[in-house]
Every structure is written in C-alpha cells, then in structure tokens.
Amino acid sequence: MNEYVVRPIGFVTSPRVLIEDDNWGEVTSTIHIDASVLEPDALLGLETFSHVEVIYLFDQIDPEDALTGSRHPRGNKNWPKVGVLAQRAKFRVNRIGLTTCKLLKVGADFIEVSGLDAIDGTPILDIKPYMKEFGPRGEVKEPYWVSELMHEYW
Amino acid sequence: MNEYVVRPIGFVTSPRVLIEDDNWGEVTSTIHIDASVLEPDALLGLETFSHVEVIYLFDQIDPEDALTGSRHPRGNKNWPKVGVLAQRAKFRVNRIGLTTCKLLKVGADFIEVSGLDAIDGTPILDIKPYMKEFGPRGEVKEPYWVSELMHEYW
C-alpha cells in the first residue's frame, strides 16, 4: 500500500490543554489557517453555514500506540469489547479525529467554533461545511453503550 | 508546520470507476480492510451501528491541482464563488473525502456500504461509527446553492 503525506492547513488554539474525555460542548476554540497553505479567500462564504466538520490529527498520540484490534471503550468493562473501527477512540491508525462543530465566527484567517474536542495546538487537516444532505440517510441505529459513553461528552 | 504520513487501512471496490459528480445514493461498495494494518477484530461490533463515516483519499487528484482559494462550486456561475473550505470539492489540500454511508454488511475483513461517493480503488484512511451524538448540535443552516448542487447527488 502507498503512503501519503498530509500537512496541516492550520492549528487549534483552545483553553483545553489536557487530553480529557468529557465536557467539550461549551469549549470555544479558534482554528488559525496557515497562510502558507491556503489563500485568504479559502474561507469565503463559510459564514453562510451554521456548522463545519473539522478533520484533525491526534498528534499527541504515539502512532505506535494505535489500537489495531478491539478493546472496551474507555477500558470500561461494563461496555462490550468492540473493534477500533466501531469506536471513535483517539488511539487509531492515522490518528484522524472528526467532529462537527458549531461555527461561531469567520475571520480573515481564522474561524471560531464551539464543541471542538481537540486540545490546544492540534493540527487541522481539513474543514468542510456541514451540509444536511451529507448527514446520514435513513434511520440511525447505534448500540446502548454509546449514549452512556457520550452522557457528559458535550 | 510538520508533515504527517498516513497509510490506507484498506481500499474500495465500487462499480463506479469514473470521477463523476452525481447519482451516488444507490451505489453499493465494498471496503476491504488491509490485514497488514488492522487485525480481524478491528470490525468487532460495528454491525450494531446503522451508519459509518468513511474518511478516504482522493488519490486520483494531483496534489498540485488543489484549490487553495475560491471558485464557483462545480464551476457553475449561477452559484456564488466560495472558498475551498466552504465547499466539499475534491480538489483540496490533503485530498481528504468524508462521507456518511449506510452500513449494509460487516464481513470478516470487509464492510459493504451504500452511498459511498468514492471510485473503485480509492484508499480508505479511517472508518468511524456514526453516532447521533456526533451529529450537528443546534439548528443547521446552509446556503441555497447547496440543495441545488446536491439535487441529484444521491
């Protein structure tokens, strides 16, 4: 298989500096766009959307620590052991994080968002406008443990 | 800025071999998991979810062609000129695609999905279970041109 190189289009400043699981909902973060990668008009029109999908890199995770099989989410044995592709754990191959955030402000070379679960300094790989049409088509089903795990996430 | 190396966790087989904009909704694709990257139990429990978020790489796009500023989506002048971060065009820095797909089947080393807008052979960077809790929080707003653009996408 080929390998591919990605480079950040920007980085996060966030009041959150520790890797912790919960209470991300009220966090306001700024994503600074790297002017050596994108031109100023890369953000043009983004303010007409209410939400963005932020794709980022868990750069503080050692790639060697990536889970390649299964585990109990958060190590909690009350929940079933599930594969890394059946959970959103940060210890994953390629270390890619993905979160839909509320867009608060679009500046000349930055955006402000709420609910970004990435710590201060996190590299950003992409930002996409959230389009309703790209949401799940058809009824969504998920196992019981998800709502327990997500109880205090936001 | 640092650069990072990513490697596919698998690849797509799809009846669609041409890069075309529309009619992806009824497409059934298979994502084959690379056994040299992930263990068989990486998919354990995924069948308890109805949808997955598939993160893939537009590997047929020349990185040199990435849009770094703005353009009319699909080059259509009836729609406003918007920045690359305000559209989901494939010609983007890092060439990362992201689509929420319906999960049809989970096999030993593959999954079958519908609505994956990636052509045959596309490298897969990550698969995450779709969790309702990770959907947009608060009311979603998007500009008028999105529904026109997405009219025949699925």
Give residue for tokens 């997500």.
Answer: A150
- Read off the tokens for A19: 């890797």
Query: What average pLDDT does this structure show over B73-101?
Result: 97
Q: Are B29 and B13 in contact (CB under 8 A)?
A: yes
* Window 6-65 of B, Cβ < 8 Å to A: 6-9, 11, 25, 33-34, 36-46, 48-53, 55, 57, 59
Query: What average pLDDT does this structure show over A102-115?
Result: 97
Alpha-carbon dihedral of residues A67, A73, A78, A80, nearest 10 degrees?
-70
Phi, psi of A18, rounded to the nearest 5 degrees: -105, 145
Helix-strand-coil split of chain A, %, nearest 5: 20, 30, 50
* Window 101-130 of A, Cβ < 8 Å to B: 102, 115, 123, 125-130
Query: What average pLDDT does this structure show over A77-97?
Result: 98
Q: What is the rounded CA–CA span in Å between residue B58 and residue B54?
A: 12
Identify which of A55, A132, A116 has the alpha carbon closest to the alpha carbon of residue B141.
A132
Q: What is the rounded CA–CA span in Å between residue B53 and residue A98?
A: 9
- Residue B1: pLDDT above 80? no
pTM: 0.97
Nearest to B39 among A52, A57, A68 (CB): A68
In chain A, what percentage of residues exceed pLDDT 90?
94
Looking at residue A1, its pLDDT comes to 58
Helix/strand/coil (H/E/C) assignment for every residue in B29-95: EEEEECCCCCCHHHHCCHHHCCEEEEEEECCCCCHHHCECCEECHHHCCCCCCEEHHHCCCCCEHHH
Identify which of A75, A29, A85 has the alpha carbon closest to the alpha carbon of residue B37.
A85
Identify which of B79, B137, B29, B2 has the alpha carbon closest to the alpha carbon of residue A53.
B137
| Burial degree of B139 (CB within 10 A; 0-12, 13-18, 19+) | exposed
- List CB contacts of B62: < 8 A, sequence separation 6 or more: none
Q: What is the rounded CA–CA span in Å between residue A122 and residue A13?
A: 8
Task: For B13-71, write each residue's pLDDT tens digit.
Answer: 999 998 888 889 989 999 999 999 999 999 999 999 999 999 999 999 999 999 999 99
- CB within 8 Å: A69 and B39: yes
Looking at residue B18, its pLDDT comes to 87
Question: Cβ of A143: how many Cβ atoms within 10 Å?
Answer: 19
**Domains assigned to chain A:** 10-149 (2.40.30.70)
- CB within 8 Å: A128 and B85: yes
- Residue A59: pLDDT above 70? yes
Looking at residue A122, its pLDDT comes to 98
Task: For A18-34, write each residue's pLDDT tens digit.
Answer: 888 888 998 999 999 99
User: What one-character-per-residue DSSP string does A143-154 give?
Assistant: -HHHHHHTTTT-
If one compares A126 and A22, the residue with the highest pLDDT of the two is: A126
Query: What average pLDDT does this structure show over A79-108?
Result: 98
How close does chain B come to A3, measured CA to CA in Å?
5
Query: What average pLDDT does this structure show over A118-139?
Result: 97
Looking at residue A19, its pLDDT comes to 84
